[in-house]
Amino acid sequence: MRTADIAQRYLDFFEKNDHVIVPSASLVSDDPSLLFTVAGMVPFIPYLTGVVPSPHPRIADLQKCIRTNDIEEVGKTARHGTFFQMLGNWSFGDYFKEGAIRYAWELLTSSESDGGLGFDEKDLWVTVYETDDEAESIWRDIIGLKPERIQRLGRADNYWNTGQPGPGGPDSEIFFDRGPSYGKDGGPAVDDTRFLEIWNLVFMQDFIENVRSGTEFDITGDLPQKNIDTGMGLERVAFLKQGVENMYESDQVRPVLDRAVELSGRRYGAVHQDDVRFRVVADHVRSSLMLLSDGVRPSNEGRGYVLRRLMRRSVRAMRLLGVDEPVFPELFAASRDAMKVTYPELERDWSILSAAAFAEEETFRRTLAQGSTILDLALGETKKAGGTTLSGSEAFLLHDTYGFPIDLTLEVAEEAGLDVDRSAFDDLMRGQRERAKADARNRKRQFADVSVYRQFRALGETGFAGYTELQTESRVLGIIVDGHPAQTAAEGDVAEVILAETTLYAESGGQVADKGTIVGAGFELDVLDVQRPVAGLISHTVHVDSGSVAVDDHATTVVDAANRRAARQAHSATHLVHAALRDTLGRTATQAGSLNRAGYMRFDFSWAQPLSAETRSEIEDITNRAVNDALEVTTRIVSLDEAKEAGAMALFGEKYGDVVRMVDIGGPWSRELCAGTHVSSSAEIGLVSVVGESSIGASNRRIEALVGQDAFRELAAERTVVSQLSAALKAPRDQLSTRIEELQANLKAAEKRIAQFEAKERAGRVPALAEAAQPVGSYRVAATSLGEVGSADDVRTLALSVRERLGADAAVVAFGGVANGRPIVVVATNDAARAAGAKAGALVRIAAGVLGGGGGGKDDVAQGGGTDASALDAALAAVVSELAGA
């Protein structure tokens, strides 16, 4: 049974049983404390906690999930994978334990011909929470499961909670017995490898407080509404139904593994380490493709870093399998074809997704080439010094700074006949992980606690009148001070104010929040920020400038009209720039993020190469022609399906409901789903001036522009500068470029002549400086302060020239100078001096210590500096003293 068929059977079954089927939420979680959707229940947290009323009493879904906390275990076991899919059925105050258990058992054990999954009852075991007599009774007396196949377990295994105060409840898990060849008998309490969990039924009934850990908390009461939260692991059920050993061999993953086998020429099932690498490739390529499809792009931070790590681990694994050529064109295409039945957008958006993937592989291949060069040098130095082991610190530097994988370092070192101090490397890696974990703990990466908003959201959605009005009469529904509900906020307080209706725009879709005030009888509030902490609720962070505001007070929201006008101009300009980009570069240039505020817009888009000056100028020209054409701007509220049929841009990473707001500028020329505020005609934008274009990652670029009056002021300032240059250089405006190029050429020629004079002058000083060398112990030592110098290079050049002139006798040169007010010291030794024990690096550190600084280098030449220029003579004397005592 194909994976897609299993999912469809599940959804069909629950739709037949009065569940509303909802699409998967994005892998990019709405929860600000989570990078990704890590479990099927994450999108439903607001409904499960009661903060937001559920739109339906019964829901079922297939949810995409990503977990990377066990990434090092991927490929080694049957259960570890980064991307996985959870089938879930949800009841919000409707059916409870008996209903959930009946539905699960019926679907699992009904025959395939009747639409079920066809599991044999004798192969299924269940666990229940240790005190849940009700669940055990249902399994035993209603379902008819034999008592010996029902096991009770404690909080660590059979109790669910979010990790903080709020809802929780016991759960019941269903396990499949894979047979005696997979482990010991005795049920899941004995061996959870043989007995594989396939479905978890959470009975959310308790309110918990005083949470001290995942198993230490107090159950303080019952929830007002009991919920059902279930999850069936699609990949686990798929590989069991398909009769294969693990998820990597199931139909949605195996095609990538098979293509990797073909590319490598090695056989799957022959060598354990190779098998692990094949499974890593299969898992990581699929995970990367799904992350790309939800708008994540490779970068060095956050979600982008996770994606980059997955992609680079794939390339590394293929290289260790003997494949040095680019592999993503083959592997990602195989994953697309395996997943497109369930996720047709993978085929629809293939050109965009593949461009990002292929660019990242090319970037990493360049990184590997650079790392290989650095590694070769390090191995050469190790051999030259007579060593047999590359240090762990050098291996870690290659890994941490250059992204060069330790596996490849080990491989290359072995080829060179050297070992790597793996123990020291592992210690450094362990320290890095501990620092990362400590940082994560400091940031308390748990589900965000938004329970404080529950009572306000229960009163209904906040009305937004700001599309057509700048002021509206409203009522204060709630006040939050220091994270807790309050009845009042007094003068000087900073508080959150919840209103029944507002005209103030809450930050979203790249548009920053409105500025403005909230006024009423006896109070005035300065609006500092406006946000949507939970769906349907708008919260105003305010400073109470005067008076006191209380719950139930009448209030008027007043938007700063000038700021709103400029923000509307910037947001509409962003849509124009997006359309101009697609006109110029093609449909693969899609939005990857934006920021709009009064007078300024920033637009990030998927593109691997810098824009030429001509392309940038063309985009700016198309945008401003659209402004000049006074294109009509219209908005319509339509269904999501209608909007997509009309060709509206549904942007990667954005989340949309069933009903959306579609914004047209010039009809279909610019048609996007957008909840922001906009002008009514493109002519109102006034002017768009592109002021910057830069890279923000391997396959992402950023355009920045000023809009409206800000754009005019910028151009006016540039005109003033041009006029001043024209007057100063005595050249007409159209000849300024030529005149500046002439001046640059003259300056370069003058600098070259000066450098020649300085080099000649330095060369002229060499004989006298060499003659001044004095015998010190067993060395000839030239130690001189050169006074003011142009740079450290001048001191170094003289030191090397004098060392050469001193001949083959043991000679040490120690020169100092002052460049830009800071002292510099350079020490150079010849072969004979080094053989006698004089090391430049050690000597320069002595001098630099006197100068209040530091330094270092090799035994033949080293350089240092400090802060105390007046101590330069003393620093050189310290070098001489050290040599005299040697």
Please give the annotated binding residues for Zn(2+), written as ranges: 571, 575, 674, 678
Neighbours of 514 (CB within 10 A): 26
Largest Cα span, the chain: 107
- Rg for the chain (alpha carbons), in Å? 35
Cross-strand bridge partners of residue 601: 596, 705
Q: What are phi and psi of 351, to 5 degrees?
A: -60, -35
Strand 516-520 to strand 700-707: parallel, antiparallel, or no bridges (unpaired)? unpaired
Q: How far is CA 817 from CA 626, 755, 769, 791, in A?
A: 61, 18, 14, 9
- Spatial CB neighbours of 781, under 8 Å, sequence gap ≥ 6: 773, 774, 775, 811, 812, 813, 814, 879, 880, 883
Query: Whats the size of the chain, residue-wise?
Result: 886
Residue 145 has a CB neighbour count (10 Å cut-off) of: 20
The number of beta carbons lying within 10 Å of the beta carbon of residue 716 is 9
What count of Cα atoms within 13 Å lies in the side-chain half-sphere of residue 256?
A: 31
Distance CA 338, CA 122 (A): 32
User: Can you read off the two tokens belonging to residue 227?
Assistant: 């919920």
Is residue 453 a contact partner of residue 483, using CB atoms and an 8 Å limit? no
Q: How many CA atoms lie within 13 A of 90 on its CB side?
A: 26
Closest CA to 298 of 370, 355, 369: 355
Show the 3-state SS of 473-524: EEEEEEEEECCEEECEEECCCEEEEEECEECCCCCECCECCCCEEEEECCEE
Cβ-proximal residues to 388 (8 Å cutoff; 6+ apart), any chain:
382, 418, 419
Report phi then psi at 622, rounded to 5. Answer: -60, -40
Q: What residue numbers does the annotated binding site cover?
A: 571, 575, 674, 678
Burial 665-701 (b: 16+ CB within 10 A, else e): bbeebbbbbbbbbbbeebebbbbbbbeebeebbbbbb
Angle between helix 272-293 and 350-384 (nearest 10): 140
Contacts of 495 (CB under 8 A, 6+ apart): 479, 480, 481, 486, 489, 541, 542, 544, 549
- Of 798, 806, 804, 807, nearest in space to 825 by CA: 798
The token duo for 488 is 């009042």
Report which secondary-structure segment, H or E, holds 713: helix 709-729
Strands (E), 666-807: 670-673, 688-697, 700-707, 774-776, 779-788
